[in-house]
Amino acid sequence: MKVLFSCVGTTDPIRGMHDGAMLHIMRHYRPDAVVMYVSPEMKAHDAKDNRYALAFESIQQRYPDYHPEIHRIDGDAVDVSEFDSFYEPFQKIVKDWSAQYPDAEILLNLSSGSTQMKMTMALLAMDLRYRTKGIQVKNFEQRSGTSERSSEDNYDIHAEIELNEDDDDASPNRCSEPDLFLIRRNEERQRVKAMLDQYDYKALEAMRDAIPADCRKLVRHLAHRSDYDFAQAEQLAENLPVPFCLFPMRPCKSWATKRAYREESEYLLCLELMQKTGALTNFVLRLNPLVLRLQQAYLKQICSFDCGQITIRKGSHVLISRDKIRALHPALETYLDQHFNIFRDNTDISIVFCNALLAYLGKADTEEGRLFTALEKLNQSQRNAAAHTLNNTTEQDIYDLIGFGSKKLVEKLEALIQEIYADLCDPKLFRIYDTCNEYIYQRL
């Protein structure tokens, strides 16, 4: 859909037997709707001869299959040289039409009206929040116009229509789209795309005026979601008009399982953004709690071993209970004492302990067991290095320790979540940030 927003001046609707800018844009762009802003001065001229309605009627007769909606706005700005009189009302017009028709392209007539009106249209043509395009129409004389203006007392709209040379199919198209506006809009687009490519949604949120209006709430959602502010992200996701599900997931009857899956999968998504943007030190440091959660979920869902049966909770700590192990799994107590050379009671459950459980259950040599072993090694080595040195974790560090890079590690963790939560996990979730980025790219 195309909407033309146009002021009318002393060259409209027809002057010197040629289209004024508004009529010429209609002729060559065929907008579905025309929003015409008429100042009190132009309204007075129109009252004498009904010039605008006659001009619209003439172009519809010339093109019988063309029937645009005409929306007239009678302005109240008497002094059309006052810039501040136009910016807010013109912006509101563009904003309202953009909200009503988000996919519409709004054509802005840069050649009609006072200088201040044209300047306002030019600013709106460069505003990335809206799908606008500035259209300039060259004077048919290719210089400052010498023919009488439509504000003259002897202006004859009927003669202008009858003798309009632009009705000839061979007449030139005098419309152009100034490169300056395209360059400025493309620069703004590139700034936004750079932020999207870096998944820097907080910075993007601060560039609010550069974001299309129908994407701002989505950007706010992503800013909170990428910061693991899940409650706020979920609230912002309500009624977001995007053509895809922001939280793709299969149906689940167990609220506890659903909550665990969402917490772990969303945390992994945050880690994935760190990996993609090269924040590998933070990536490794923040990996530990997820690994521990996934180990316990794997033990429960795949190995049918509930760590909750052998632990006790004290405040925020989950502690291993020798008494519970002895009562439920006496052979396990013996194994753990051998494995750890007497393991300590009432210590925090850890990656090392869960890996011992996996070994006891015969899972150490499975693909998942080897992954957890690699993660234990990464955790011990890189967490110690990050905590006690000034060095950052590099891609080579990760590869040297576990035999594959950070991207492959994220892929393995995604596959692990899909295995643990096979009934719940929709793989589309792991592309949700890229899906959102692609959607915002399109809206630009």
**Comparing C-alpha atoms, which of 442, 418, 52 is closest to residue 249?**
418
Give the chain's residues under pLDDT 70.
78-81, 83, 142-148, 181-182, 382-390
The pLDDT of residue 266 is: 96
Q: What is the DSSP letter of 105?
A: E
Structure tokens at 310: 């052998």
* Phi, psi of 141, deg, nearest 5: -85, -5
Q: Which helix (H) or strand (E) holds 132?
A: strand 132-137
Instruction: Give Cα 352 to chain centroid, integer Å.
Output: 40
pTM of the model: 0.66
The pLDDT of residue 146 is: 52
| Average pLDDT over the chain, rounded to an integer | 90
The pLDDT of residue 427 is: 94
The pLDDT of residue 239 is: 87
The pLDDT of residue 384 is: 65
The pLDDT of residue 385 is: 64
Instruction: Give Cα 191 to chain centroid, integer Å.
Output: 13
The pLDDT of residue 151 is: 81
Secondary structure (DSSP) of 237-267 = HTT---SS-SS-B---S-HHHHHHHHHHHHH
Structure tokens at 240: 């977001």
Domain boundaries, the chain: 2-177, 186-237, 255-425
As beta bridge partners, residue 425 has 249
- Return d(Cα 411, Cα 421) in angstroms, integer: 15
CB-based burial of residue 12 (10 Å sphere; 0-12 exposed, 13-18 middle, 19+ buried)?
buried
Looking at domain 2-177, does it have CATH number 3.40.50.10770?
A: yes
Q: How many CA atoms lie within 13 A of 437 on its CB side?
A: 17
Peptide linkage before 212 cis (omega within 30 of 0): no
Question: Roughly how many angstroms between the first and final C-alpha of the chain, as a whole number?
Answer: 16
As beta bridge partners, residue 311 has 320
Report how many helices (DSSP H) and strands (DSSP E) the chain contains, helices first. 20, 10
